[in-house]
Structure 1
Amino acid sequence: MKHILLAAALATGATAAFAAPAKFALDASHSQVVFSYDHLGFSTTTGMFSGFEGEIMFDEANPANSSVSVSMPVMSMFTGWEAREQHFMSGDFFGAAEGDMITFTSTGIEVTGDNTALITGDLTMNDVTKSVVLETTLNALAPYPFGPNQGKPTLGLDASTTLLRSDFGLGAFAPAVSDEVAVQISIEALAAE
């Protein structure tokens, strides 16, 4: 889901000086997927995934040729409540084992503004693949300002979508616990070596 955002940057017509498609690697330390859902009408419950891997191929001359692929471990989920995380990993939901991944691979990019795009792609979660659309904003495409990555071209993107848990076989307790899950993605990616 996280390289997804970088692809949006590619699609927004950002003005990096790349003559050919350029590869960007996701910075897992500054990338996350945050999800939230209604719990019984009483509260909005939030969690996140981390541990991303992936890449974006950025084609400045033809953003439609850009692509993004990303993966993250199911068991990287963090909700702030260990018992809830264990329940999500149980047979009621993911039935997760070490090594199970969530993946996103872009299938198309539609530029919608100077710094916005719709990135369509295949999201695979819980052994189910569905097409999803990410509303994406390019926050920055610029040299990293300091530290070990100083001067390295870097992309920063935010994206959002809404998923139905039931589409991925994760609909336990719906509709009391909302089937709809709001997803907010924020990522950084650095030009690959």
Structure 2
Amino acid sequence: MRPTVFSTAAALALAASVAHAAPETYDLDPAHSQVVFTYNHLGFSTTTGMFSGFEGAIQFDEDDPANSSVSVSMPVMSMFTGWEAREEHFMSDDFFGAEAGDMVTFTSTGIEVTGENTAIITGDLTMNGVTKSVDLDTVMNQKANAHPMENRPWVGFDATTTLTRTDFGLGKFAPYVSDEVQVEISLEAGKPE
């Protein structure tokens, strides 16, 4: 009788270890990842800019997405607005006071799965020396076992949030230039080669 008890316990332990497999690492693809932001300018227009130059990784648990995590950074000076004078102003002491090496970072602190391919990712956003908790409304666009060009596992996500500039010490000209900034994130990540 003991061998049967042992075999059953071993099978349960094996099943538990399979059910709780560790999340897998996906490195961000900087060529296909960006943060686009928009804000209202004096009621006359909507101004758009973007950040690029991503570094970071997603720890993705396909069986239990709430057990996943993400950590991302990008250079402040990677900001592009389409007008050099505006970018210089954003890097001045009126806003970021940026120097080479200054980064915007996001590290997840929790994930609430809200649907088959949706979740709210909560995390710490650090920008301009200030860290605040933010929620990202996130959609997993696709997961493939083999990217058609890279030939390795790949995932893609879109996320949105709204930030308040004054929360991060970037409130110059608010509220005339909108204090609220709409943020759209789109990124791809692949398993390391």
- The Cα offsets for residues 14-34 of structure 1, whole Å up to 9 and x where unpaired, read as xxxx94311000000000000
The answer for the alignment partner of 1:54 in structure 2 is 56
The counterpart of 1:65, out of the listed 67, 76, 80, is 67
The answer for the alignment partner of 1:179 in structure 2 is 179
Max Rg structure: 2
Partner SS for 1:41: coil
The one-letter code matched in structure 2 to 1:169 is G
Change in Cα spacing, 1:188 to 1:38, as seen in structure 2 (3 Å) is same
Overall identity of the aligned pairs, in %? 72
Greater relative contact order, per chain length (Cα 8 Å cut-off, separation 6+): 1
| Mapping of residues 33-182 of structure 1, within 5 Å | 33-147=35-149, 149-150=150-151, 152-182=152-182
In 2, the alpha carbon distance for the partners of 1:107 and 1:79 equals 30
What stretches of structure 2 of length at least 5 have no aligned partner?
1-19
Q: What CA RMSD, in Å, does the superposition of the two structures yield over aligned residues?
A: 1.2
Contact 1:20/1:60 (CA < 8 Å) preserved in 2?
A: no
Contact 1:123/1:131 (CA < 8 Å) preserved in 2?
A: yes
The answer for the alignment partner of 2:3 in structure 1 is none
Contact 1:31/1:186 (CA < 8 Å) preserved in 2?
A: yes
Residue correspondences, number: 174
The counterpart of 1:21, out of the listed 20, 23, 27, is 23
In 2, the alpha carbon distance for the partners of 1:88 and 1:135 equals 27
In 1, the alpha carbon distance for the partners of 2:146 and 2:135 equals 29
In 2, the alpha carbon distance for the partners of 1:126 and 1:102 equals 8
Q: TM-score, normalised by structure 2?
A: 0.87
Partner SS for 1:99: coil
Q: TM-score, normalised by structure 1?
A: 0.87
In 1, the alpha carbon distance for the partners of 2:101 and 2:163 equals 23
Contact 2:147/2:153 (CA < 8 Å) preserved in 1?
A: no
